[in-house]
Structure 1
Amino acid sequence: MNRLLRHYNMNTTLKKWHRRSGIIIATFLLFHVLNHLFALGGPSLHIAVMNLFRPIYRFWPIEILLLSSVLFQVISGPVLVIKKGFLRQPVYVIIQVLSGLYLSFFMIYHVRAVMLGRYMWKVNTDFYFAAGVANRYPEKLFFIPYYTLSLVCLFAHIACVHYVKRMEYLQKMPDAATAEKLLRKYNRETIGISLTGGVITLLIMLALCGVFYNI
């Protein structure tokens, strides 16, 4: 019994810190995605907004916190998947797991590329750093799906996490009628997050691919 309790507490603690580090990353991504949406107004506007945000997230204590959170997510995510399993889980949990695994791959690859650009290649990792590979052949054959899927998985993961939290709340609700009404509300919220993410993904990718202007 004591061993089971320790195992449960360890999983609960890991899950708790996984969520907390996820909130830190999500806060950064909120500004990062917003920055990319400004690319609809052109590369100059995107870079101007980026220059406003950079002093914040490149302030070394914040950058260390962000990088530590990314590292923790990449490690804790697969560990939670292995411990919990997902083949017999509801569809929304499976989507949450698969999107999280892709985001782990993306964060490793993307952070590595940005760090190499900054410290080894000595290039400015601005709008053109991302848009360049999305417009050159044959690089774009990889980078367009790579960027698109990262955004799709980001919003899918957020929608699923939102739904999981709401389901946890519903399980504590004794009134079946109220629970049914809230379930419909939570379904609409989750669909709304997914659709909004789809529109944002489309707009950002159109901008990165030079549909609105030449790059």
Structure 2
Amino acid sequence: MSLSLKRLHHTSGIVLASFLLLHIGNHLFALGGPQWHITVMNILRHIYRFWLVELVLLFCVGFQVVSGVSFVVRKGFVRQPFYVVVQVLSGLYLSFFMIYHVQAVLRGRLQWKMNTDFYFAAGVANHYPEKLFFIPYYTLSLVAVFAHIAAAHYIKRMEQRPDQHLLRRYKNETLGICLVGSVVTFLIMIAFTGVLYKI
């Protein structure tokens, strides 16, 4: 992968990560109940459903998938360091998730005329047998987001300053991202799967 394509992949990743920060933060409001989640989502939709922002986000999703898969095909990940393997596997899962999730949300909005709010996701995570697929599907998506960010952070730190004396610090930062991701994943999933209240 050329250096310029790698930089574009990184830049589009930052754009998507900014959206995900809002999106995941919104999901955490589900801890207070569906209405909290819906209220915050309605506020945030003024930002990310503005047509230009939405087009940029859709472009970034497509670009991340194509450039990420291209990176894997060209470079591979066999016999790579552990953090590279984590980055590749989490990226591949996120590619699958983004394609499936984005088309499902767009079909829900445009074809089925549904409000793709809290109940759109929580419904399938609480209904048998759909939940047998959707609970692991959503859980892995959150795990993959934080794993991918953690691996990218570690790689970036090593590229900027490959100092062996700072290696422990880089590992602690990376582990911190993973731990935060684990807690956030757990909290969101107990809210969306009816552990805290009936859905």
Are residues 1:75 and 2:66 paired?
yes
Give 1:138's aligned residue.
129
User: What is the alpha-carbon distance in structure 1 between the residues aligned to residue 9 and residue 175 of structure 2?
Assistant: 24
Q: What is the DSSP-based 3-state SS (H/G/I as helix, E as strand, rest coil) of the residue aligned with 2:2?
A: helix
Are residues 1:212 and 2:196 paired?
yes
User: 1:85 deviation in Å?
Assistant: 1.5
User: 1:101 deviation in Å?
Assistant: 0.4
Matches within 5 A, 1:179-194: 179-194=163-178
Q: Note the residue ranges of structure 2 that are not aligned, 5 or more in a row.
A: none
User: What is the alpha-carbon distance in structure 2 between the residues aligned to residue 189 and residue 88 of structure 1?
Assistant: 24
Opposite residue 141 of structure 1, the aligned amino acid is L
Give 1:52's aligned residue.
43
Opposite residue 118 of structure 1, the aligned amino acid is R
Q: Which has the larger radius of gyration?
A: 1
Opposite residue 53 of structure 2, the aligned amino acid is I
Question: 1:30-60: CA deviations, max 9, x gaps?
Answer: 0000000000000000000001100110000
Opposite residue 207 of structure 1, the aligned amino acid is A
Instruction: Provide the aligned C-alpha RMSD in A.
Output: 0.8
Give 1:23's aligned residue.
14
User: 1:89 deviation in Å?
Assistant: 1.1
User: 1:169 deviation in Å?
Assistant: 1.9
User: What is the alpha-carbon distance in structure 2 between the residues aligned to residue 169 and residue 85 of structure 1?
Assistant: 23
Opposite residue 105 of structure 2, the aligned amino acid is V
User: What is the alpha-carbon distance in structure 1 between the residues aligned to residue 73 and residue 156 of structure 2?
Assistant: 20
Q: Note the residue ranges of structure 1 that are not aligned, 5 or more in a row.
A: 1-9, 172-178
Are residues 1:35 and 2:26 paired?
yes
Matches within 5 A, 1:52-131: 52-131=43-122
Q: What is the DSSP-based 3-state SS (H/G/I as helix, E as strand, rest coil) of the residue aligned with 2:119?
A: helix
Question: 1:75-94: CA deviations, max 9, x gaps?
Answer: 11010111111112100000
Opposite residue 23 of structure 1, the aligned amino acid is I
Question: 1:158-185: CA deviations, max 9, x gaps?
Answer: 00000000111233xxxxxxx2331111
User: What is the alpha-carbon distance in structure 2 between the residues aligned to residue 84 and residue 180 of structure 1?
Assistant: 25
Question: Which of residues 151, 155, 178 is equivalent to 1:164?
Answer: 155
Q: How many residues align?
A: 199
Are residues 1:200 and 2:192 paired?
no
* Identity value in percent: 66
